[in-house]
Amino acid sequence: MDTRYYLAVDIGASSGRHMLSHMENGKMVLEEIYRFPNGMTEKAGHKVWDVDRLFEEILTGMKKCLEMGKIPYSMGIDTWAVDFVLLDENDKMLGDAVAYRDDRTKDIDKAVYQFVSETELYTRTGIQKQSFNTIYQLMAVKKQNWKLFTNAKTMLMIPDYFHFLLTGRKAQEYTNATTTQLIKAKTKDWDYQLIEKLGYPQDLFLEIKSPGYELGDLSNVIQEKVGFNCKVILPPTHDTASAVMAIPTQADDALYISSGTWSLMGTELKEADCSAGSRKCNLTNEGGYDYRFRYLKNIMGLWMIQSVKKEIAQDTSFAQICEMAAKENIKSVVDANADRFLAPDNMTEEVKKACSESGQQIPQSVAEVAAVIYNSLAKCYAGTAQEIEELTGKKYSHIHVVGGGANAAYLNELTAKETGMTVYAGPGEATAIGNIASQMIAAEELYDLKAARQCIFDSFEIKEYCPD
């Protein structure tokens, strides 16, 4: 029997990768075949994504499959959340794909709250207040670029747009759609009453499709470009939803941290918690695979370390930075969730400034700055774990750390110490693995989510960090 390959294209804020996988002796085998850089660029005074270049990178990676003689049976793309493109009546992109870190949404929440209160918004959607959520970005377009807004006929989240370019078919996938803050938690569908209140055209919002939905084959044009055809399956297109799918546990109420540019810490719920207490703690109820809710908090995450590396340690690896930080004794901490760390001109100086303002030791070296960030993240994780325990009424004994941060040994040690919980770290490529697992379930190579998670546990290394 020929080997059946599955391709995950996983695009994060700083890089993208093509990961090819197949089953071998009951285990998932994962192979990176192509990697490319990503990042925001400045254009017309805004931070934007170069989606045209990203799509060319997607095609380049697909051509690698042909060169290797490993043509995928299916493929799917996941990316970050909240960002989108607007298409005109001819399905051409209007304007640029503005990035969530752009300042166009500054103070725009006030315009949204003229139509719906912050309290009612959370009660309806269960989504955490973040100034860059799609609901606010759309209001910014409506207020600042009315002509573009009125000419728009379709809104597609970034991965939905790439899937459209591959197949010629438009669909909006559930997990990423929930991050718009326009999905009703109870119905798991667009909140059309809310959309009407805000004055957004209802036609922008297409029918919601669940992860595992078969969108179709590659278009003839794309087949000619890459040299083959395959199925396009919608994975959980929000990268965190794919990562959470790859948590190697059989427990229904595991605590997890999807650790990458952002740290997403939470648990899974069968029903959304849209209570006042949950809103006060700023937890979110994002959509997950099989309509599970990812009940979590967005924490600034390794974005801070990535920024410091870029500023003052370009020739030093993340592993080396982590090892250097572990040797420092500085105890200073900052509020890792403060808006000041979202997109500062200089992250290193912002961390130093925050320490100075709070009367703490000011870090000087790369190692000390990194140590402060790791200290701060671990403290934030501990506080979030306590909030989740109080809100769910459950006591957790361990945390699963998946994603790139699973490789940050010192941060995992600090997390175990601060939370008093055992940390299980791995797999590191959780997002791609979850993406692939959804494709394997769609192809009936894996039975369901439970079977997928057991297979992931059996297939990849998991490291343990104890709190004592």
> CA-CA distance, 131 to 439, in Å (whole number)?
33
Report residue 13's pLDDT band, with 50, 70 and 90 as the boundaries. Answer: confident
Residue 373 predicted with pLDDT over 90: yes
pLDDT digits (tens, 9 = 90+) for 436-447: 999 999 999 999
**Contact 431/78 with Cβ under 8 angstroms?**
yes
Q: Are 274 and 185 in contact (CB under 8 A)?
A: yes
Mean pLDDT, rounded, for 100-114:
94
The tokens for 97 are 């794909």
CATH superfamily of 249-426: ATPase, nucleotide binding domain (3.30.420.40)
| β 463-465/422-425 pair status | antiparallel
Give the number of residues written for the chain: 468
How far from each other are the two terminal CA atoms of the chain, in whole angstroms?
A: 49
Check residue 2 and give its pLDDT: 83
% the chain with pLDDT above 70: 100
- pLDDT tens digit sequence for 154-169: 999 999 999 999 999 9
Reply yes or no on whether the pLDDT at 1 is more than 70.
no
Return the domain boundaries, the chain: 5-233, 249-426
pTM for the predicted model, two decimal places: 0.91
For residue 301, which of 380, 417, 414 has the smallest C-alpha distance? 380
Same fold? 5-233, 249-426:
yes
Residue 454 has pLDDT above 80, yes or no: yes
Arithmetic mean of pLDDT over the chain: 95
What is the average per-residue pLDDT within 380-388? Answer: 95
**Residue found by looking up tokens 């803050």 in the block:** 181
**Mind listing the pLDDT tens digit for each residue in 57-86?**
999 999 999 999 999 999 999 999 999 999
Kindly report which listed range (92-101, 214-223, 244-253, 388-397) carries the lowest average pLDDT score: 244-253
Under 8 Å between Cβ of 66 and 59? no
Active-site residue, selected from the candidate residues 96, 239, 253, 448: 239
pLDDT score at 298: 85
Quickly count: other Cβ atoms within 10 Å of residue 235's Cβ. Answer: 36
Tell me whether residue 91 is one of the annotated catalytic residues: no
Tokens for 66?
A: 């042909």
* Class in CATH terms, 5-233: alpha beta
Round to whole Å and give the CA distance between 97 and 100.
9
Q: Return the percentage of the chain with pLDDT > 90, whole number.
A: 93
Task: Extract the tokens encoding 224.
Answer: 């000619």
